[in-house]
Amino acid sequence: MSWLTNYVRPKLQGLVGDQDIPENLWVRCPECGAMMYHKELDSNYQICNQCNHHFRLTPTERFKLLFDNEEYTEIELPEVKEDPIKFSDLKSYNDRLKIARKTTNQQDAIRIAHGKMGNMSVVIGVFNFDFMGGSMGTAVGEAIVRAAELATLQEATLILVTASGGARMQEGMLSLVQMARTTTAIRQLKEKGLPYFVVLTDPTSGGVSASFAMLGDFQLAEPGAIIAFAGKRVIEQTIHTQLPDDFQKAEYLKEHGMVDKVVDRRQLRDTIITLNELVRVPNKIDL
């Protein structure tokens, strides 16, 4: 980006005088390398207008995208014991939590909110990959259980938008237990006959993909999202075979029956509403 700092920025500085020019006016697409003006990217739902690469969204952006009129009520995450095994590597787990909370301004790697979508009650949980890689520890597990309970209480559809590196190693076995707990919570929701949607975004992997993230009544994914359990390189080293270039991408998983539909973000809300109406209000759908 030297041409931006060495040529474009001085030109703008000359036009506006001594006013500060923000450093983030332009964003480079990691997929095709195209440079985009940040307002243009915002107006296009954080999607590259050259190659259709879907940038990651914050939970707030997801909520505004999905809920009717951008109106929703967020719930507090259940309190859990922090640093249960007193873990420390290069930094203590407590320090990592403090940094993640300060950086993201949220309590843990998921946020839960409820409201209306297509005028139907929904509970939506959204992962934030910027919070320790969206990893699942006891706080995330408790939040998903609470979300399923809330959906059951409100007789609402549960929607989880995933973006995670998997279980949180700093909580050891307790993080792995959340795989079973979240799976049980989803099973109890389904026993009540309530719909469960999963929106797989980039990346979704590890213990998250091996539990609740692959149990949706509808498995939707954003274009190009990496969806996996173990990394591609690890698998290649294990089986001593070179895998296809698109291995573990959303399109590959759809082709092989692991994903129901790959949905452009601009059509995601309408797609979920249509599918939700199909299972909840059949007489509203003209087949």
Give residue-wise pLDDT tens across range 95-152.
999 999 999 999 999 999 999 999 999 999 999 999 999 999 999 999 999 999 999 9
The dihedral formed by the CA atoms of 240, 228, 57 and 131, expressed in degrees to the nearest 10: -90
Assign 25 a pLDDT band (cuts: 50, 70, 90). confident
- The residue-averaged pLDDT of 267-278 equals 97
Which residues are CB-neighbours of 120 under 8 A, at least 6 positions away?
156, 157, 273, 276, 277, 280, 281
* End-to-end Cα, the chain, rounded Å: 51
Surface-to-core class of residue 253, CB atoms within 10 Å of its CB (0-12 exposed, 13-18 middle, 19+ buried): buried
pLDDT digits (tens, 9 = 90+) for 247-264: 999 999 999 999 999 999
pLDDT digits (tens, 9 = 90+) for 58-77: 999 999 999 999 999 999 99
Residue whose token pair is 């599918």: 275
